[in-house]
Structure 1
């Protein structure tokens, strides 16, 4: 049994559909000793609708395709300037429950934002993901979305972190099912960070956390 997480950087930008299908196939075919993997991606513009997503949250997709997928959550947008961290983890192997896993992903993003100088990153009760206060008034804007799927104790999909992107397409939807939810990115919050820099931090954070869980599970 290996606790080594393999990191795969996908071509950028890449279409969403083939990556989703590949994640499903990996998860279905992996065995009890298959090492976990993290896939790093930046997608061509696409709206993805969660498994229980409501069509009324898609307001005006224009020429951006809408893909019905099998992750949790409602509709969100992926596009250039956004980092996707797809976590193909065997949660059962390390004794990690779903709620704990969501907290782990959020903790990783909060640590990443703090490391690169984005202030005030936090959770929002009842709304998974990570938010930051924006002027005026310090209202919370979403900077990172989470969407996961667990099959036989194994996860796929993961998190999206907005780095330096055109945020206009978020206006074509109710992001994550919340009407009027404001979105932002790291550049807007004063952090000039590349996808590779953010990816390295998140991969190191998640790899360390999963290794600690593995050590505890086999102790």
Structure 2
């Protein structure tokens, strides 16, 4: 019997790219687990535009399974564990790149459930990681900014020039160049594993003194 995997898909660049690498390596990815936190300050999961994660999962061709969590530290980890126990998969795929907090908790979940963790991005050089995503053909939009120097990048598609800009901002302000510290969040609208692409038609912007994010309220899904 072929092993069944579920990918933790937030709709951001890392979770989608990890899913791509898993599929490319021959892993049988069946589900996309879309975790939607009730709080915008979740330690583990993306909040902005979480409602689009199932749309992206379906566009990739996976079956979306939606989990709403409290967004409270540690409690949300337990909620994910209990959900995965009932899903009966052999392993999960995660886009953890440098966050020890995230990876350690996912490892703990997998150990408790006796399932495998596939985290192909872990420890990668962040600049090369961003370049790999773009060169593979993914369309990645920055939909949330939470750090100094990033304000002008809201709504911008990541390309080579943007990567250079992020490298400069990283050197100047000390942010993680790939946003692993929560400095910015992304949304993937197209890529080589997408059967359909997503077009953003309208959005609102919510902002504070040092942060801003897009709230996408209208989009369409187009066959490729």
Q: TM-score when scaled to structure 1?
A: 0.28
Q: TM-score when scaled to structure 2?
A: 0.28
Higher relative contact order (Cα pairs below 8 Å, separated by 6+ residues)? 1
